[in-house]
Structure 1
Amino acid sequence: MVKSPPSPIASRKPSKVEGIKENSNFLREPVATEVLQDTTHFSEDAVQLLKFHGSYQQDNRDNRVKGQEKDYQFMLRTKNPGGLVPPQLYLALDKLSDEYGNHTLRATTRQGFQLHGILKKNLKTAIATIVKNLGSTLGACGDINRNVMAPPVPWKNRPEYQYAWEYAQNVADLLSPQTGAYYEIWLDGEKAISAEESPEVKAARQRDTNGTLISNTEEPIYGTYYMPRKFKVSVTVPGDNSIDLYSQDLTLVVITNEKGELEGFNVFAGGGLGRTHNKEETFARLADPIGYVDKADVYEIVKAIVATQRDYGDRTDRRHARLKYLLHDWGVEKFRAKVEEYFGKAIAPSKELPEFKYHDFLGWHEQGDGKLFFGLSIDNGRVKDEGSFQLKTALREIVEQFNLPIRLTAHQNLIFYEIAPADKAAIQDLLDRRGVISDPSKIARLERLAMACPALPTCGLAITESERAIPGILERIGTVLDKVGLQNEEFVVRMTGCPNGCARPYMAELAFVGSAPESYQVWLGGSPNQTRLAQPYMERLHHNDIETQLEPIFVYFKQAKTAEESFGDFCDRVGFDAIREFAANYTTQAVATSDITDDSDGLVEAIADSRTAESEGQEVAIANTTIATYKTRRRVSLQHEVYDKLKAAAASQGRPMTELVHEALEAYFQNLEK
C-alpha cells in the first residue's frame, strides 16, 4: 500500500482517527467484516469509517434504559450535488423511510436527504436501493469532501445558474473517493450505472500539478489518510447567497461575460462554523476571498486548495483540523502563497462582486423557458404526515403523477421544476387537499426564515432539544414581538442542540445553541443575508426565561432602530454593551403570582402587568396581558426591589435569573449548615 506523504506536523502524535483511516485499506475494514455480523451495532473503529459511506450510528435517546443495550439505529445521508433529486430517487427514499426508517425524510442544510431509524440488518439493503435508483451516500459524511452545494433555482434564461449546477456536479465528481470499498461492501462489487463524468474531470484527476496528486494509490487526491476533517464546497453566482457561501471551506463564484459566457471563478476559502463550548481556541469563521482563476484552471485550483489542507491541516487535534484554522493560523497571504505552489502560478485578484443576498425561492415562478418551478417550505426539513397535514403523501403523489425532478435548498426546503403550466392547477389542488401550505405569504413570519438541527432524540452530540423545541419557541418569540409592538418584524432565527452548528446558527440574527439541558447560549448580530457572523450575547439561557430576556432587547430595537434596519444589523450596530445596559435598566412591575400546584399538563399563568422601559432619558409605557405556558415548576414571589436587582445582575452577567437565584440559595443553605 502506498501511503500519503507525511504531514508537516507528523512529528506530533496523530489523533486516533488518523490511525483508523490508515489501517482501513481505503475505507474497507472493519466495516466490510462487521456489516456481515449478526449484531445491532458496529465497533468504535467501524463507526468512524462508516461515516465515509454516508451513515452515522445513533441510538434513540428517548429509549435509553440504564443497564440495557442502547436502541441502536442508523442515519443515512444522501449526496446530491446542487441538491438534485431525480424522481426515481425520491420515490425510492420515500419507500425506504416507510419500510426501514421512521416514516419521515429530512431535508438537510446541505441539500441532501437523511433517513433516520434504520436498523443495522437493513443498512446494506437501504444503501444498495439508493445507489440503484440514481443516488449515493458515498462521502456524505466523514473526513472528505461533503455534498457540493449550488443555488437550487432552475432559471433557464440565466446561464450563470446553469454553470453553477454544472460545476457543482463536476467538483463533486473530482473529489469523490475512488476506492472500490463502497461498491464492494454495499453492492457486492457491482458498480451501478451513473452519469458519465466530464472528460475534463477525468483528466484533472490524472494530472499531477506540483504535488497535488499522490501516485500509485487508489486515492490520487486524498491518499491513505483522506482529509484531516470534513471539507465543504459550494458553487454560486454573483449576488446569490442561498447556500451560505461564507460558511464553506471552499466556494467558487461563477464569473460570466456580457454575453453570459463562462470566464472563470472567484475563489473563497476558510469558512467553517463548528466550535466547542468553553474552548476558546475553537470558533466560527467566515471564508476569505482568495482570488480569481480562469475556467480552464478551476479544477487545478480546487486540487491545490485540497492538497494544501490535506498536507498541512492539523491531524493531531480534530478540534483544530478544519481548513479555517489553517487560514487563521497562517493568514490569507501565506495560505495563498502555499496554494500557488501547488497551483503552479500566481492567483489573480478577485473580480468585483455585487452584494450577496439571501433568497428562498418559495412559491410559483416562471423558470425562463415557458415552464414553471414551485418552491415549498418544509418546517425544519421534516417530511412527514401528521393528522390533516399530509406533506409526505402530497410530495409522493406529485412525483408519481407528474414525474418532476427536485432541487433541495440549503434552507431545508425543496423546489419542483420543469412543471408544465397546464399542470399547475392540479398540483395546487393536490397540495390544498393534503393540507400543505403552499403560499409563502401564509407561513408564520419567523418560521419561514428559521432552521433547526435534529438534535434529540437521535443525535449523540445533542445537549438539549432543537427540532422538537423550535416551533414552540418561535411562537413564544412571536408573542413577545406582538406584545411590544413589532407585529410585522421578521428575522433569521436558528437553533442547534450543541455547538457544532449543523443549522449554521452563527450566521443568524438570533440563535440558540444548546449549552445544557433545556438551556442555550444566545447569539445575536448576524446579517439577514448571512454575510456576517453573529456573536455570543448570553452564555446560558434557560428556555423558561426566553420572554424575560428577549423582551427588553426587542423594546430597545423598536425604540432605537433606524428605518428599515433589520434586527441583526441593529444588534451589530449598537453593540452588546448598549443592549445590556438597556436591559439592566428595563424594569418590570410584576404582580405576585398565586400559589401553584403540580400539574402534569403544565401551567397556564396569566400575568397582568404594566411595564416601563427606560432608554436615553425616555420612558415608554407598555400595558399588556400575557398568557404564557410553562412546564410545571414551583415558584416564590419576590419584592419588586429585589426582582429589579436580580434582573439587572442577570443582564450584566449574561446569565438567566433562575441560575443566579439557585446559586444564591445554595450558598445561603450552606452557610446555615456550618
Structure 2
Amino acid sequence: MTDTTQAHGPLVVEGKLADNERLKGESNFLRGTIAQDLQDPVTGGFTADNFQLIRFHGMYQQDDRDIRAERTKQKLEPLHNVMLRARMPGGIIKPEQWLAIDKFAAEKTMYGSIRLTTRQTFQFHGVLKPNIKLMHQTLNSIGIDSIATAGDVNRNVLCTTNPVESELHQEAYDWAKKISEHLLPKTRAYAEIWLDGEKLEGAHGENTEEPILGSHYLPRKFKTTVVIPPQNDVDVHANDLNFVAIAENGKLVGFNVLVGGGLAMTHGDKSTYPRKADDFGFVPLAKTLEVAAAVVTTQRDWGNRVNRKNAKTKYTLDRVGTEVFKAEVEKRAGIMFEASRPYEFTGRGDRIGWVDGIDGKHHLALFIENGRILDYPGKPLKTGVAEIAKIHQGDFRMTANQNLIIAGVATEDKAQIEAIAKAHGLMDNSVSNQRKNSMACVAFPTCPLAMAEAERYLPGLVNDVESILAQHGVSDERIILRVTGCPNGCGRAMLAEIGLVGKGPGKYNMHLGGNIAGTRVPKMYKENLSEQDILTEIDALVARWVAERNANEAFGDFVIRTGIIAEVKVSKRDFYD
C-alpha cells in the first residue's frame, strides 16, 4: 500500500469533492451543452454548468453592473455578455493581427475597447451572445485562440518583454510558446463548438485524452512564466510555476525553477494567503518540458479537490512540504535539480519610451493607463495604435504591466511612428514616475467578483498621490501602488509597496511592505479604509519616509526597517500575525 501521508500532511485531501469536480468530470472533455446553449434565444447568458465551462474556452460571463438594478426594475435579466481573454504566449502580436482585433472591438463589442491585461494578453469586454462564435472564428482566422486562458488549467504563459537583448528574448519566448502548447488541453471541444470542427494548428485539438491535465483537469487555475533577470516584469511570485532564464555568454543554457507562488486570498479566511514561490533549483533546457509537466501533474494529483479556496499549488506545497513536492517532481521528470544558478531581480517596470536593441532595431514602449486602449477626448489611443499597425514592420508586445511595446522599428521608420504616437496621445512626457508604477484590475462595471472600484478609481488616486509626493518635495519618486477590486489578486496588489484590496463600495484594506524587485509580500496595515482615509495614511507615511529614510531607500524597504509594518518572511506564519 502506498503511504499517502507525510509529516506535513496527507498527499491527497479526503472528503466530499467540490462541485466543480463533478461538472468537469461530466463535461465530456469541456463540451458540456455549450453548443445548445449558444442557440438558445431566451437568455443572453449560459446556464447551469456551461456558465463555468465556457471559462475553459477563455471566456467569463459578465453583465454591466452599472445598469443591473435598473434592468431588474424593468423585469429584465441582467445584460449578459462575455469577456474573452486571448491566448498570447509571451504577449507578442503582429500588426495585421492587431488591426483585426481593433476592428472586431469597434464593431462587435459593447465598449469598443481593447484591454491589455496583467496576463500579457488582450481582452474583449462586452461581447453579446450572437457575436460570440464570430469572435472565435475571427480570432482563428488570424492565428489566435482563447483556449485555456481561464478555468482549471495552465493559463497564458508569460515571458519577460525584453526587446533589447533580442537573441536571448527570442529563445525565452520560444520556450514560453513550447510550454504553452505542451500544457494545453488536448480535447477538440474548442474546435467543435466555435470553429465547426475545423482543425487547429499546434498540439491541441487532436483527441479526447488528457495525458497531462487528466479527465478532471487541475484542482484550480495554474499560472506559468518565463522570466529573464534582472527584470521581474512578470512578477514570478504571483505564479505557480516560473522558469528563470540563466544565460551564459548571451545564450540560454537552462532555467532555475520556482514553484508555488500565488496572491489570491479570501477576506476573513486565514487559511488563505498570498505566498512567494520556492526555488527548486536549476534544470538544463532539454528537461524544461518534462519538468513543466511533472509540476503540473503533481499538482493535478495532490492538489485539494475538496476545498477550492485551498486548491492552488501554494497550498499543496505548504500541506505536503516543499521537499516532498520537489522530490515527486524529480521522480516524474526523471531528473535531479541542480543547485540554483545566481541571478538577481532589480525591477519590474517597463522602460517607457525608446530603447535601442543590440540588433540595431528600436523599440518604443507606450504607457497605457490601466491597459485600456480606447479613443478618449483629445487622446484617440485606439486609433493611434491602429495607425501605427498599418505601417509597422516589426511586432507589438503586450507587457504584464498593461503597456504596449512597438518592437523592431527600423531607423528609417522611427520618426514616423513617433509622430503618430505623439499625435494620438500615446507618448506623453508629462506622465509621472508614480503613474507609470501604478496598476489596477478591471473591477466595476464588468467583473462579477468586484467589491470596490479599481480601474475607474486608480487615475484619480494617482493624481492625489502625485500631489502628496509634490507637497513633500519628492515629485520624481515613485511608490509601487496597486489596486484590486477584490482579494483575488488580478492586479497583483500583494506584491506592491502599497497594495489596496477592495472590501466594499469605497472601502479598501491597505497593505504595506512590498519591494521594488517584487520578491516580498506586503502585510495588512489598516483595514476597511475610505478613500479619504487612504490619502490621510499615505500623506503621513510619505512625510515620515522623506524625513527619516536612508539614502535612496525605497518606500517599501523604509516601512519595514522603521517598524511601521512587520516583514512577511513566511506567508503562512507571518501574513496575519
TM-score class, shorter: over 0.9
Q: In the alignment, is the contact (CA less than 8 A) between 2:523 and 2:566 conserved in 1? A: no
Instruction: Measure the CA separation in 2 of the matches of 1:536 and 1:360.
Output: 27
Instruction: Measure the CA separation in 1 of the matches of 2:314 and 2:255.
Output: 20
Query: How far did 1:577 drift?
Result: 5.9
Matches within 5 A, 1:302-313: 302-313=292-303
Aligned to 2:39: 36
Instruction: Measure the CA separation in 1 of the matches of 2:423 and 2:345.
Output: 40
Cα distance 1:483–1:238, how it changes in 2: closer, same or farther (>3 A)?
closer
* More moved, 105-114 vs 363-372: 363-372
Instruction: Measure the CA separation in 2 of the matches of 1:56 and 1:143.
Output: 13
Of the three residues 435, 438, 454, the one matched with 1:450 is 438
Instruction: Measure the CA separation in 2 of the matches of 1:577 and 1:251.
Output: 29
Q: In the alignment, is the contact (CA less than 8 A) between 1:363 and 1:438 conserved in 2? A: no
Q: In the alignment, is the contact (CA less than 8 A) between 2:525 and 2:565 conserved in 1? A: no
Of the three residues 99, 103, 116, the one matched with 2:107 is 99
Q: Percent of pairs identical after alignment? A: 39
Q: Deviations over 1:38-84 (max 9, x none)?
A: 23110131011100101000000000123431111110111100001
2:497 alignment partner AA: E
Aligned to 2:239: 248
Aligned to 1:155: 164
The yes-or-no answer on 1:134 pairing with 2:143 is yes
Of the three residues 395, 400, 403, the one matched with 1:405 is 395
Query: How far did 1:415 drift?
Result: 0.7
Matches within 5 A, 1:321-470: 321-439=311-429, 442-470=430-458
Cα distance 1:578–1:241, how it changes in 2: closer, same or farther (>3 A)?
closer
The yes-or-no answer on 1:525 pairing with 2:513 is yes
Query: How far did 1:503 drift?
Result: 0.7
Larger gyration radius, structure 1 or structure 2: 1
Of the three residues 18, 21, 46, the one matched with 1:18 is 21
Instruction: Measure the CA separation in 2 of the matches of 1:516 and 1:89.
Output: 39
Q: In the alignment, is the contact (CA less than 8 A) between 1:161 and 1:236 conserved in 2? A: no
The yes-or-no answer on 1:568 pairing with 2:556 is yes
Of the three residues 120, 124, 133, the one matched with 1:115 is 124
Instruction: Measure the CA separation in 2 of the matches of 1:357 and 1:144.
Output: 29
Q: In the alignment, is the contact (CA less than 8 A) between 2:187 and 2:208 conserved in 1? A: no
2:49 is paired with a residue of what secondary structure?
helix
Q: Deviations over 1:282-303 (max 9, x none)?
A: 1000101001112121111111
Aligned to 1:488: 476
Query: How far did 1:571 drift?
Result: 1.1
Cα distance 1:179–1:578, how it changes in 2: closer, same or farther (>3 A)?
closer
* More moved, 59-68 vs 459-468: 59-68
Q: In the alignment, is the contact (CA less than 8 A) between 1:34 and 1:42 conserved in 2? A: yes
Q: Deviations over 1:490-521 (max 9, x none)?
A: 11100011011101001001111101110100
**Structure of higher RCO (CA pairs closer than 8 Å, 6+ residues apart):** 2
Q: Deviations over 1:546-598 (max 9, x none)?
A: 2322222121112211110011111122223699xxxxxxxxxxxxxxxxxxx
* More moved, 244-253 vs 483-492: 483-492
Instruction: Measure the CA separation in 2 of the matches of 1:492 and 1:11.
Output: 41
Aligned to 1:237: 228
Q: Structure 1, unaligned stretches of length 5 or more? A: 1-6, 207-215, 580-653, 655-674
The yes-or-no answer on 1:220 pairing with 2:211 is yes
Query: How far did 1:404 drift?
Result: 3.7
Aligned to 1:553: 541
The yes-or-no answer on 1:56 pairing with 2:60 is yes
Cα distance 1:254–1:550, how it changes in 2: closer, same or farther (>3 A)?
closer
- Aligned pairs, number: 553
Q: In the alignment, is the contact (CA less than 8 A) between 2:560 and 2:566 conserved in 1? A: no
Instruction: Measure the CA separation in 2 of the matches of 1:223 and 1:528.
Output: 39
Q: In the alignment, is the contact (CA less than 8 A) between 2:45 and 2:129 conserved in 1? A: yes
Q: Deviations over 1:259-298 (max 9, x none)?
A: x343221100000001111111110001010011121211
1:446 is paired with a residue of what secondary structure?
helix
2:78 alignment partner AA: K
Query: Normalization by structure 2: what TM-score?
Result: 0.92
Q: Structure 2, unaligned stretches of length 5 or more? A: 1-9, 568-575
Instruction: Measure the CA separation in 1 of the matches of 2:443 and 2:540.
Output: 29
Q: In the alignment, is the contact (CA less than 8 A) between 1:163 and 1:254 conserved in 2? A: no
Q: In the alignment, is the contact (CA less than 8 A) between 1:86 and 1:134 conserved in 2? A: no
Q: In the alignment, is the contact (CA less than 8 A) between 1:53 and 1:139 conserved in 2? A: yes
The yes-or-no answer on 1:186 pairing with 2:194 is yes
Query: How far did 1:310 drift?
Result: 0.3
Q: In the alignment, is the contact (CA less than 8 A) between 1:372 and 1:418 conserved in 2? A: yes
2:159 is paired with a residue of what secondary structure?
coil
Query: Normalization by structure 1: what TM-score?
Result: 0.79
Instruction: Measure the CA separation in 1 of the matches of 2:34 and 2:106.
Output: 26
* More moved, 353-362 vs 423-432: 353-362
Q: In the alignment, is the contact (CA less than 8 A) between 1:147 and 1:232 conserved in 2? A: yes
Q: In the alignment, is the contact (CA less than 8 A) between 2:432 and 2:476 conserved in 1? A: no
Instruction: Measure the CA separation in 2 of the matches of 1:298 and 1:559.
Output: 48
Instruction: Measure the CA separation in 1 of the matches of 2:333 and 2:345.
Output: 29
Q: In the alignment, is the contact (CA less than 8 A) between 1:462 and 1:514 conserved in 2? A: yes
Q: In the alignment, is the contact (CA less than 8 A) between 1:145 and 1:176 conserved in 2? A: yes
Query: How far did 1:244 drift?
Result: 0.6
What's the C-alpha RMSD, in Å, of the aligned pairs?
A: 2.1
Q: Deviations over 1:365-410 (max 9, x none)?
A: 2222222111111000000101110100000011012244111000
